[in-house]
Chains A and B, each alone.
Chain A
Amino acid sequence: MNGIEQSLIGGVEGGTAILLPSLGELIGELSGVINLGTEGCMLAGALGAYAVAVTTGSALLGILGGIAAGAFFGLIHSYLSVYRKADQLASGLVVWFLALGLTSVFGTGYVNDSITPLTIISIPGLSKIPWIGPILFKHDILVYLSYALVVALVVILKKTRLGLLLRATGERPEVVGVAGNRPALVQLIAVTLGAGLAGIGGAQLSVGYVGNWFNDMTSGYGFIAVAVVLFASWKPARVMVGAYLFGVVLAASSVLQAHGIAVNQYLLDSLPYLATLIALIAVSKKGGSNAPEALTRALTDTT
C-alpha cells in the first residue's frame, strides 16, 4: 500500500467525520440558520457516543448516544436563535463553549476507559475492486451511512415536498408562514436534526476512526464543517467532495509523518485550516449569491 492510497483511505475515513456534520449544517443553513455550535455538537456527540459505548459495551448503541447529545445542543441553539431571536453567530459560539465545558467536566471519567470501536465492514465484491475497493468499500458503518445520506439529501431536496418546504423556509419564511406552515418549527427541527448528524460525526471520531475520548478531541473539525458548506455553495454532492478533500489533507499529513518526511508536525497540523481558508477564498465570490436568503438576512441583521 503506498502513501497516496493510504491518504485516500484515511481521507474517506476521517473525511466522514467532517462530511456528516457538514450535511447536518447544510440542512440547518438551507432552513436559514447557521450553527457555529456544530463544533460543540460534534464534541458532545463524541463524548455521548463514547459514554454509551463504554456503558453498554456496544459502539453501535454509542452512535445513538452521539445523536442524542449532538441534537440536545442543536436544540438549545435553534431555540435561542429561532424562538428567542438571538444572534445566530453568537448563540452558536455560546453553545460551543457550553459543550466544551460540559464535555470536559463529564468526560474526565471516560479518559482512561477503552472500547471496542466500530467494526470495519468490507462490502462483498465491491471491496475487491483494485484501488477503489479499499478506498470506498472497506470502512465502518458510519461511512456507508454518509454515502446513503448524501444520496437521500439530493433526492429529498430536489424531488420532495419536504425538500421544498425546507428550502422555502430558508428563502422566504414569511411566505411559508402565510401558506399555513410554521417556518420557526421547520427551522427548529432542521437545526436539531443537523446537530444530530454533527453528533454522529463526533461519534465517527470517538467510537470509529480514533476509538478514544479526550478533551476537545474535535479540534476545530466542526468549524471546518461549517466552512465546507459555504465552500460547497449549499449543494450536497459538493459538500461530499469538500469534506473528502479536507479528509485527504488531514490523512496526508499523518502519512507524511509516518514516512519520516521532515516537515514540522505543527505546520502540517495547520494544513486543513489553511486548505479550508484557501478553498473558501476560491469560491466565496460566486458562491455567495447561492446563499439562502433568510440566512443572508440573519447574518447581516446586526441589531
Chain B
Amino acid sequence: MSIFSPLAPKQDPPLDDLVNHEVEKKFSWSNLYRSSNMTFLLILTYIGSFFLFGLVALARGANPFGVFGAMLQSSVLNVGSIEQVILRAVPISLAALAVAVPARAGLVNVGGEGQLIMGAVAATGIGVAIGASVPGPIAWVAMAVAGAIAGAIWAGISGVLRTKMGANEAVTTLLMNFVANDVMLYLIYQPWRDKFSSGQPQSQPLAQSAQLPALFGSQLNLGVVIALVLAVVTWYLIRKSHWGFALRVVGGNQEAARRAGLPINKLLISSMLVGGSLAGLGGMLNLAGLEYQLVPGITASFGYVAFLASWLGRHDPIKVVVASLVFSAIALSGNGIQLGFGLDGSIVDVLLALIVMAPLFLSKTRKAAAK
C-alpha cells in the first residue's frame, strides 16, 4: 500500500488488522452457512419489527392488516404513488449518503436535516433572485452549486469543531439542525415572505423556467437521475478511490493513520464537506423538483429518516439508496394511514425506528460472527 511509508517500523500489524473492517473472505461452506444464518436472523427480526408495529396500530383500535393494506395502497400499488416515492427518495438518499461518507471516517453526521434545509434555503435565494431572468439550465446549475456549498458549510462547521475543538460531531450536527430550521423560518416569515400569497407564510415560488421539468410525461425529473449518478459516484469514491481508502483507515484506526502520515484532520473535514454538499444538493433538488418554494417544514424530517436509512444500509452507498427508497415509501404511506384510519401520520416514524432496531439488535451477533 503506497500510502504507508516504507520506513514504518516492521512490527506494525498487517493492514487488515488495523482496518478491522469487513475483510473479504474466500468462499467456504461455513462462511456461506454463517452469512445465510445472519440473513435469516435479520429477516426474523424485521418480521418482529412489523409485528410490533401491528400491535401499536391495534392498540389504537386499527386493524393491523387494514393498516398494512392502506400503506401499500398509498405507496407502491399505483404508478402515481410510485413516482412520488421515487421523487421523495431523492432528498432522502442524498441526505443518507451525507451520513454514509463521514461514517466511513468514523464520524456520525446527524445533521442531514439542517444540511437539507440550508441547501434549500440557498437554492431559494439564488432561484428567486435570478430564476426569472436566465435560461432554466443556468438557474439549475447556479441553484445546485449554491445548495451544495450551503450544505457543505453547514456540515463543515461541525467537522472543524470536531477536529480543532474536539467537540462531538453528533451533538453539534444535531444542534445545527435546530439553528438551520430557525434561520429558514426567519427568512420565510420576514425578508423572503411572499406578499401575494395568503394563509401560510412561504417564500416566493421559483419561476417556471427554474423548476426542474418533468421527464417522459411522468412526475419524475432530472433530480432522480442526478441522485442515482451521485450514489454511484459516492460508491466509487468511498470504495475504490485513494481518498475513500484513507477515510477508511482513519475511521478504522486513527493511530495507524497517524503513523502512516495521513492528514487526519483534513480527511475528517473533507468527509463532512462532501457529505454536507450531497445533502445540500438534496435540499436543492427537493426544492426545484418537488416543492418549488420554501415553506415551513419543507424537509418533513427527511434528514432524520435519511440517518436511519444510512444505518439500515450499513453506510454502503448502493444499499443506502435502496433503504432510502423503502423508507420513502413508508414515510409516504403515513398519508394513507391518516386518511383511512384517522391515526396520526407520524405512526410511520414508529415503523421506521423499529425497522432500524432490527440490525441494531443483531449487532452483537454480527460482531461475534466477524471474529
Binding site for B on A (CB under 8 A): 36, 80, 83-87, 89-91, 93-95, 97-98, 100-102, 104-106, 108, 215, 219-220, 223-224, 226-227, 230, 264-267, 269-270, 273-274, 276-277, 280-281, 284-285, 287-288, 299-300, 302-303
Query: How distant is the Cα of A179 from the Cα of B349 in the complex, in angstroms?
Result: 43
Query: How distant is the Cα of A106 from the Cα of B165 in the complex, in angstroms?
Result: 41
Given the known interface contacts A87-B363, A105-B56, A303-B20, the answer about A273 and B185 at a Cβ–Cβ threshold of 8 Å is: no
Contact indicator B349/A97 (Cβ below 8 Å): yes
Query: Interface on chain B toward A: helix, strand, loop, or mixed SS?
Result: helix
The contact of A281 among B167, B351, B354, B370, by CB within 8 Å, is: B167
List the A side residues contacting B26 at CB < 8 Å: none
Given the known interface contacts A80-B361, A100-B349, A281-B161, the answer about A227 and B171 at a Cβ–Cβ threshold of 8 Å is: yes
Query: How distant is the Cα of A138 from the Cα of B166 in the complex, in angstroms?
Result: 39
Given the known interface contacts A90-B311, A94-B356, A281-B161, the answer about A226 and B171 at a Cβ–Cβ threshold of 8 Å is: yes
List the B side residues contacting A219 at CB < 8 Å: 178
- B108 an interface residue at 8 Å Cβ cutoff? yes
Given the known interface contacts A105-B343, A302-B106, the answer about A273 and B350 at a Cβ–Cβ threshold of 8 Å is: no
Contact indicator A36/B174 (Cβ below 8 Å): yes
List the A side residues contacting B346 at CB < 8 Å: 100-101, 104-105, 215
| Chain B residue nearest in CB terms to A39 | B174
Task: Kindly supply a per-residue 1/0 record for chain B positions 174-185, scoring 1 wherever the CB is within 8 Å of any chain A CB and 0 otherwise.
Answer: 111011001101
| Chain B residue nearest in CB terms to A80 | B360
Query: How distant is the Cα of A101 from the Cα of B60 in the complex, in angstroms?
Result: 13
- B364 an interface residue at 8 Å Cβ cutoff? yes
- B190 an interface residue at 8 Å Cβ cutoff? yes
- B326 an interface residue at 8 Å Cβ cutoff? no
| Chain B residue nearest in CB terms to A91 | B360
Sample of 16 further A-B pairs with CB below 8 A, known A91-B360, A106-B59: A84-B364, A89-B170, A90-B108, A97-B356, A98-B353, A101-B349, A102-B350, A104-B344, A223-B178, A266-B183, A267-B186, A277-B179, A299-B168, A300-B106, A303-B20, A303-B367
- B268 an interface residue at 8 Å Cβ cutoff? no
List the B side residues contacting A94 at CB < 8 Å: 308, 311, 353, 356-357, 360
Contact indicator B56/A102 (Cβ below 8 Å): yes
Query: How distant is the Cα of A70 from the Cα of B370 in the complex, in angstroms?
Result: 34
Contact indicator B308/A97 (Cβ below 8 Å): yes
Query: How distant is the Cα of A220 from the Cα of B173 in the complex, in angstroms?
Result: 12
Contact indicator A97/B363 (Cβ below 8 Å): no
- B317 an interface residue at 8 Å Cβ cutoff? no
B366: min CB distance to chain A, Å: 9
| Chain B residue nearest in CB terms to A275 | B175
Contact indicator B182/A270 (Cβ below 8 Å): yes
Question: Which B residues between 289 and 331 are near A, CB-CB below 8 angstroms?
Answer: 304, 307-308, 311
Contact indicator A266/B182 (Cβ below 8 Å): yes
Contact indicator B190/A264 (Cβ below 8 Å): yes
List the A side residues contacting B304 at CB < 8 Å: 93, 97
Query: How distant is the Cα of A224 from the Cα of B177 in the complex, in angstroms?
Result: 12
List the A side residues contacting B308 at CB < 8 Å: 93-94, 97
6 A-B pairs within 8 Å (CB atoms) are namely A80-B360, A95-B353, A223-B174, A266-B189, A273-B175, A280-B161
- B362 an interface residue at 8 Å Cβ cutoff? yes
- B206 an interface residue at 8 Å Cβ cutoff? no
Query: How distant is the Cα of A60 from the Cα of B262 in the complex, in angstroms?
Result: 58
Contact indicator B343/A266 (Cβ below 8 Å): no
Query: How distant is the Cα of A284 from the Cα of B21 in the complex, in angstroms?
Result: 30
List the B side residues contacting A93 at CB < 8 Å: 110, 304, 307-308
Which of B21, B182, B251, B352 has the most C-beta atoms of chain A within 10 angstroms of its own C-beta?
A: B182
- B130 an interface residue at 8 Å Cβ cutoff? no
List the B side residues contacting A302 at CB < 8 Å: 103, 106, 251-252
B190: min CB distance to chain A, Å: 6
| Chain A residue nearest in CB terms to B311 | A90
| Chain A residue nearest in CB terms to B337 | A105
List the B side residues contacting A280 at CB < 8 Å: 161, 165, 167, 171-172
- B249 an interface residue at 8 Å Cβ cutoff? no
Contact indicator B353/A101 (Cβ below 8 Å): yes
- B86 an interface residue at 8 Å Cβ cutoff? no
- B144 an interface residue at 8 Å Cβ cutoff? no
| Chain B residue nearest in CB terms to A97 | B353
| Chain B residue nearest in CB terms to A36 | B170
Query: How distant is the Cα of A84 from the Cα of B362 in the complex, in angstroms?
Result: 7
Which of A102, A105, A267 has the most C-beta atoms of chain B within 10 angstroms of its own C-beta?
A: A105
A257: min CB distance to chain B, Å: 14
List the B side residues contacting A227 at CB < 8 Å: 171, 175
Contact indicator B171/A90 (Cβ below 8 Å): no
List the B side residues contacting A288 at CB < 8 Å: 166
Contact indicator B360/A87 (Cβ below 8 Å): yes
Contact indicator A108/B344 (Cβ below 8 Å): yes
The contact of A266 among B60, B185, B367, by CB within 8 Å, is: B185
- B348 an interface residue at 8 Å Cβ cutoff? yes
